[in-house]
């Protein structure tokens, strides 16, 4: 008998995506099947999700889910079983999953994602006829209240269902003013440091951290980092307190979606044995971005434009990058001031630096397939996926030494090159000097064609498929389900 897992996330590919969480929540269920876990994913019924699932069966109705009517729809997407929370009062809106069309957070995000959690807890604790789960797995703050409801206000007489919380990013905690507590419809006893109370308000991620049976985060290094003030962002004490429950499991990538040998977004498909074919992709990329055609190194970035991603440091290093013979193509969306600074930088370096603001999935594939190196200068990075896509595509990652970036890239120092192990370039600290030095080092490696090719091949040979990590999650489910029959 497989273990039945209810996975709760606020985004998942191919239905709705703003970042890596969607990649993980979308790919992990299929990978877990091979390890004896049958995952059903619960997602909010945003317009894009409802449109994608089409006609679906209603399996439950709430007259008032924290005040709004809601229905639970059951659907199948590929091999994945889906439950969709159709609550128009919460989710039938234009804009993104968390923000309006102007990029402002919705005022009632607390209620929208508390409702998701309340629904998840009802489902996991036997409140929906015909559905039974052995484990609940909540991703990030948007799903974390599922664990609070499960522990603090379960459906009556339900057996105890174990719960796993995965932290994809400690920087987003879902902290709200104490005034929302009444609207959560939790018992008064939940207002406690052992419950949802957090620094005088309500903390969604904190509640999950407090009450989960196992806490995972998306790389071993980040699991160690979040007990420090720099990375714990106020929750380091609680993480440390629950340290025996914390595991770091590095993300995998969906190798069906991200495979240069079969990627239909690319002008030319290729493998480690046919790397010269990448040149056609490089030409296509230069054309798309209006860059000069050249065989010199072409750097790329695919990123949210935020402080976390170090995108603000890029304008400072453009002169250095271009002065050393490099070119740079950036695809990003986010902070308007960073976008403006990048545009100004590009204007100073016509034909050498180009920026496209926006979100474009197909272009992100073409950039990995045509760029020579991907810059990932993150100040913190729980795991990071773009460096993994870079490795798979022979687009050599140049990364800051933090979180999942340190766990997944092997620096091309002389020893690693000699050992045939190098897969990229790492640097310490996100500031002009570190980044400029890393760019110089990358360009010099690029100029040594046989070494560069070896670095590309090493990265392409590295296994970042979900196999091993899915086995680690499955082992956690097994252990929890066994402990709470
Ligand atoms: P995070 O989730 O913190 O943004 P990750 O590296 O884990 O960082 O995941 C980011 C995901 O979003 C990757 O799949 C990346 O390719 C994608 N992505 C980020 N920005 C863009 C963009 N502007 N256009 C297309 N894809 C993007
Ligand atoms: C978060 C993190 C990123 C991670 C992703 C998926 O968005 O910022 O590092 O790769 O979640 O786990």
Longest dimension (CA), the chain: 69
- Which residues, 6 or more positions from 349, have their beta carbon under 8 angstroms from its beta carbon? 318, 322
Average pLDDT of the residues of the chain: 97
Question: Could you tell me the distance, in angstroms and rounded to a whole number, from the CA of residue 19 to the centre of ligand 1?
Answer: 5
Q: Which residues on neighbouring strands pair with residue 217, listed in sequence order?
A: 167, 248
Is the N-terminal amide bond of 262 cis, ω within 30° of 0?
no
Percent of the chain with pLDDT over 70: 99
pLDDT in tens, 396-407: 999 999 999 999
- pLDDT over 90 at 36, yes or no: yes
What is the number of the ligand 1 atom nearest to the C-alpha of 389? 16
Exposed/middle/buried for residue 94 (C-beta within 10 Å: 0-12, 13-18, 19+): exposed
Query: What local confidence, expressed as pLDDT, does residue 318 receive?
Result: 98
Give the Å distances, CA to CA, from 322 to 147, 443, 444: 50, 11, 14
Measured from CB, residues less than 6 Å from any atom of ligand 2 are 19-21, 24, 168-169, 218, 251, 381-385, 404
Distance 303 CA to ligand 1 centre (A): 5
Confidence of residue 483 (pLDDT cuts 50, 70, 90): low
Average of pLDDT values for 465-484?
91
- Closest ligand (CA of 25): 2
> How many Å apart are CA 176 and CA 85, to the nearest integer?
23
Reported confidence tier of residue 68, pLDDT bands at 50, 70, 90? very high
Phi, psi of 429, rounded to the nearest 5 degrees = 90, 135
Query: 381: CA distance to ligand 2 center in Å?
Result: 7
| pTM > 0.85 | yes
Which tens digits make up the pLDDT trace of 279-328? Answer: 999 999 999 999 999 999 999 999 999 999 999 999 999 999 999 999 99
Q: Which atom of ligand 2 is nearest to the CA of 218?
A: 12
Ligand 2 atom nearest to CA at 381: 9
pLDDT tens-digit readout, 127-175: 999 999 999 999 999 999 999 999 999 987 678 899 999 999 999 999 9
Model pLDDT, residue 103? 87
For the chain, what is the radius of gyration of the CA atoms?
A: 23
- Count CB atoms within 10 A of the CB of residue 36: 13
What is the rounded CA–CA span in Å between residue 390 and residue 398? Answer: 10
What pLDDT does 484 receive?
45
Domains along the chain? Answer: 3-252+467-483 (3.40.50.2000), 272-461 (3.40.50.2000)
pLDDT at 482 over 90: no
Confidence of residue 485 (pLDDT cuts 50, 70, 90): very low
Distance between CA atoms of residues 17 and 361, nearest Å: 10
Cα of 258 vs centre of ligand 1, distance in Å, is 13
């Amino acid at each position: 008998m497989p273990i039945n897992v209810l996975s709760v996330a606020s985004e998942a590919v191919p239905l709705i995506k703003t970042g890596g969480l969607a990649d993980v929540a979308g790919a992990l269920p299929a990978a877990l099947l091979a390890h004896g876990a049958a995952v059903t994913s619960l997602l909010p019924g945003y317009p894009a999700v409802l449109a994608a699932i089409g006609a679906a069966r209603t399996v439950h109705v709430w007259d008032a889910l924290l005040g709004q009517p809601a229905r639970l729809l059951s659907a199948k997407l590929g091999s994945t079983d889906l439950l969709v929370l159709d609550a128009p009062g919460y989710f039938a809106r234009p804009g993104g999953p968390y923000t309006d069309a102007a990029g402002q957070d919705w005022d009632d995000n607390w209620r929208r994602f508390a409702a998701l959690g309340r629904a998840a807890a009802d489902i996991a604790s036997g409140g929906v006829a015909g559905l039974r789960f052995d484990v609940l797995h909540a991703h990030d703050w948007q799903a974390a209240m599922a664990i609070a409801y499960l522990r603090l206000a379960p459906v009556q007489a339900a057996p105890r269902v174990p719960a796993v919380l995965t932290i994809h990013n400690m920087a987003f905690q879902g902290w709200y003013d104490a005034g929302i507590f009444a609207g959560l419809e939790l018992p008064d006893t939940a207002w406690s440091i052992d419950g949802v109370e957090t620094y005088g308000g309500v903390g969604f991620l904190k509640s999950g951290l407090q009450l989960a049976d196992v806490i995972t985060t998306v790389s071993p290094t980040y699991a160690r980092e979040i007990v420090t003030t720099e990375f714990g962002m106020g929750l380091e004490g609680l993480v440390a307190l629950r340290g025996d429950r914390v595991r770091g499991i590095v993300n995998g990538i969906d190798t069906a979606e991200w495979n240069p040998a079969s990627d239909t977004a690319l002008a030319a498909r290729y493998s480690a044995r046919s790397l010269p074919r990448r040149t056609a992709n490089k030409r296509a990329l230069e054309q798309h971005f209006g860059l000069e055609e050249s065989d010199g190194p072409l750097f790329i970035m695919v990123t949210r434009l935020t402080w976390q991603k170090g995108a603000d440091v890029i304008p400072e290093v453009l002169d250095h990058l271009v002065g050393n013979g490099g070119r740079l193509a950036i695809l990003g969306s986010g902070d308007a001031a960073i976008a403006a600074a990048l545009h100004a930088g590009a204007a100073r370096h016509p034909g050498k630096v180009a920026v496209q603001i926006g979100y474009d999935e197909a272009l992100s594939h073409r950039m990995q397939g045509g760029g020579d190196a991907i810059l990932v200068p993150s100040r913190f990075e729980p795991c990071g996926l773009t460096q993994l896509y870079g490795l798979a595509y022979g687009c050599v990652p140049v990364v800051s030494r933090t979180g999942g970036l340190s766990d997944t890239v092997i620096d091309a120092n002389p020893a690693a090159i000699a050992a045939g192990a190098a897969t990229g370039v790492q640097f310490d600290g996100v500031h002009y000097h570190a980044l400029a030095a890393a760019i110089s080092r990358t360009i010099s490696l690029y100029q040594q064609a046989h070494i560069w090719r070896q670095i590309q091949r090493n990265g392409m040979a590295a296994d970042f498929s979900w196999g091993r990590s899915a086995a680690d999650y499955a082992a956690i489910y097994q252990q929890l389900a066994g402990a709470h029959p």
